[in-house]
């Protein structure tokens, strides 16, 4: 039951992600201000628009897949779209070079960052 509610909430977040970021503000609190885990390489800047550089968002591995994470991933990588993938979720198999995939575990933590 909790997973169904979490999936429905994440779907709503993903649908609202299409809104302009100027219309949304990040919630205040310590979760949105966490530094990247120690030892993770930092992005030197976003990639060119329309491309995807998954290496630039590796700092997200281990974090919750939420709006802040998807926004940070999009900005760091230059990806046109960010897709959050849940364990066992059926997904389309076409490769889109401008799309970033965030694979998650059962606790909604990002386990992998990849393009396509």
Could you tell me the pTM of the whole model? Answer: 0.57
Task: Please give the Cα distance from 100 to 80 (Å, whole number).
Answer: 8
| 3-state secondary structure at position 84 | strand
**Per-residue model confidence (pLDDT) at position 58:** 95
Tens digits of residue pLDDT in 33-65:
444 445 444 444 444 445 788 999 999 999 999
Q: What is the CATH number of domain 2-19+47-115?
A: 3.30.10.10
Q: How many residues does the chain have?
A: 116
Task: Return the half-sphere exposure (C-beta side, CA atoms, 13 A cut-off) of residue 16.
Answer: 13
Among 48, 13, 17, 45, which Cα is nearest to 57's? 45
In what side-by-side order are the strands of the sheet with 110-115?
81-85, 99-104, 110-115
């Amino acid at each position: 039951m909790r997973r169904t509610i979490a999936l429905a909430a994440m779907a709503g977040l993903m649908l609202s992600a299409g809104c302009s970021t100027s219309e949304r503000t990040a919630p205040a609190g310590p979760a949105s201000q966490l530094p990247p885990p120690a030892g993770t390489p930092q992005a030197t800047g976003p990639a060119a628009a329309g491309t995807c550089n998954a290496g630039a968002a590796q700092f997200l591995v281990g974090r919750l897949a939420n709006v802040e994470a998807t926004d940070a991933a999009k900005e760091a990588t230059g990806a046109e779209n960010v897709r959050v993938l849940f364990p066992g979720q059926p997904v389309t198999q076409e490769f889109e070079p401008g799309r970033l995939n965030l694979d998650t575990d059962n606790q909604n933590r990002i386990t992998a960052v990849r393009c396509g």
